[in-house]
Structure 1
Amino acid sequence: MRRRAERALQAVAFDTIGAGYGEAFPAKDGQLACGRRLLARLEPGAAVLDVGCGTGDPTVRQLTAAGLRVTAVDLSDVMLGLARGTARRDAAHPGRHAPVFHRIDMYDLATERAGRAWNAPGLGPAGHGAFDAVTAFFSLILLPQDEIPVVLARLRRLLRPGGLLALGMVEADLDHVPLPFLGRELRISGYLREDLERVLVESGFAVEEQSWHSYAPASTSLPPEEQLFLCCRRVG
């Protein structure tokens, strides 16, 4: 219960940050490049789950523009509102499936709690095996290190056999460390790249591609960071 409350408080922090997140992180070249690598492996109409969708920009927009069917989840009401607004503005473009948004704690994914929350036709009680791919760009960093393998295993269950995972993380040896973030305090976790690969393999994924980018947020209060992007495939 304590950790669930902590995740809810972090969601409230993102409610306050709102559109300021996009202003602090305006360039998303590494994330978009990872999305393109994912799209090259998927057919139009593939079902994708975006975990921690934030404002929906760029990943929900990128995936829907390519004709994919996107289910996006976040725990921040404000972020989901911004993402829905982005989707409405994009709705006039032909050939796009309207994304579906749900307010869900990512720790609950692949459980009955999430199944009740989205209650979507075709997903079954918990969505097991319902998705061709999952994207999780800088969402797992909000979990303690001991919860990250749990969530990765649940994401694996949501994927069909051979399904794909596109992941973005910050390279840092951190375990739920409180850090100032856009006027709020968030608890952030990270891994060194070899440790992250080990965690993914132990969670049932094969890491097929990796890239990394140095990134300086457009805010003097945030230090430069090394961003890791991995394209993985469900094993078994």
Structure 2
Amino acid sequence: MASEQSAAFDQIGRRYDESFVERDAQLAEGAWLIDQLDRPARVLDLGCGSGLPTAKQLLDAGVEVVGTDESAVMLDLAQQQAPGATYLHRDLRDLSDLGEFDAAVAFFSLIMLPKADIPPLLRALHARLRGPKLLQIAMVLGDFDQFQISFLGVPTQVCAYPPDELRQVLADAGFEIVELREVAAEAEPNRLEVQIYLRARAV
């Protein structure tokens, strides 16, 4: 994640959690993952943000969580709101020294990267998965790269894929798609967006 992106989320801080009117779909994804995992299980929360809802949901289910994020402010919130995980302040593309995981989740974090950086990151994730080798991703529906937006009044850049292109990117990185669904959600008060939730398995 570029430094300007982390600076944006340092500014957003706690307002990130307050902005989400609907998180039912993300909670459903977490519940699905919990059901797939035998204990003990180890999950990487890539771009974990404030720890809500996913890191806390996994921790409450007895799953070991390693959360990475480039925003120190968001990680401080995660320590407060979802204590018990290992939180690391680092670029989300940096998987060095993290070990292996039964699953990895990246909910609305890959959108902060340039598209060119996503395939190599997916291949690196593939190499670190063991056991059920599960990957869950949440993105925003669209077709753009490093597109300038204002999120909660803070300028940042995002990318988005059409569903078929996202499927192909995952397949090229060695993943089999288990399910892909589109969900209309209120991402900020009075702003609807279509979100893509994708479940995959490394093959």
| TM-score category, normalised to shorter length | over 0.9
Within 5 Å, which residues of 2 pair with 1:145-224? Answer: 145-160=115-130, 162-220=132-190, 223-224=191-192
Q: Are residue 131 (structure 1) and residue 106 (structure 2) matched?
A: no
- Taking the aligned partners of 2:132 and 2:24, their CA distance within structure 1 comes to 26
Unaligned 5+ residue runs, structure 2?
Answer: none
> How far does residue 26 in structure 1 lie from its aligned partner after superposition?
3.5
Aligned residues: 203
Contact 1:30 1:212 (C-alpha < 8 Å) held by counterparts: no
* Aligned residue number for residue 199 of structure 2: 231
- Taking the aligned partners of 1:230 and 1:36, their CA distance within structure 2 comes to 14
Matching residue's letter, 2:106: A
Matching residue's letter, 2:124: R
Q: Deviations 1:175-209 (Å, cap 9, x if unpaired)?
A: 11111111111110010011100100001100011
Q: Are residue 17 (structure 1) and residue 3 (structure 2) matched?
A: no
- Taking the aligned partners of 2:181 and 2:67, their CA distance within structure 1 comes to 24
| RMSD after superposition | 1.4
- Taking the aligned partners of 2:181 and 2:28, their CA distance within structure 1 comes to 9
Contact 1:38 1:231 (C-alpha < 8 Å) held by counterparts: no
Identical-pair percentage: 40
- 2:111 is aligned, of 132, 141, 146, to 141
Matching residue's letter, 1:54: G
- Taking the aligned partners of 1:169 and 1:9, their CA distance within structure 2 comes to 20
Contact 2:144 2:160 (C-alpha < 8 Å) held by counterparts: yes
Matching residue's letter, 1:147: D
Q: Deviations 1:39-89 (Å, cap 9, x if unpaired)?
A: 11101220000000111000001101111010011000000000001134x
Contact 1:73 1:102 (C-alpha < 8 Å) held by counterparts: yes
Unaligned 5+ residue runs, structure 1?
Answer: 89-97, 116-122
- 2:88 is aligned, of 97, 102, 108, to 102
Q: Deviations 1:10-63 (Å, cap 9, x if unpaired)?
A: 101100100011111142111111111111110122000000011100000110
More strand by share: 2
> How far does residue 161 in structure 1 lie from its aligned partner after superposition?
5.6
> How far does residue 219 in structure 1 lie from its aligned partner after superposition?
2.8
Q: Deviations 1:126-172 (Å, cap 9, x if unpaired)?
A: x2xx1000010000000111111111111111211641001111110
Based on CA coordinates, which of the two structures has the bigger radius of gyration?
1
* Aligned residue number for residue 31 of structure 2: 36
- Taking the aligned partners of 2:120 and 2:150, their CA distance within structure 1 comes to 26
Q: Are residue 83 (structure 1) and residue 78 (structure 2) matched?
A: yes
List, as ranges, runs of 4+ consecutive aligned residues in structure 1 with deviation greater than 6 Å. none
Q: Deviations 1:101-130 (Å, cap 9, x if unpaired)?
A: 001101222xxxx32xxxxxxx5xxx2xx1
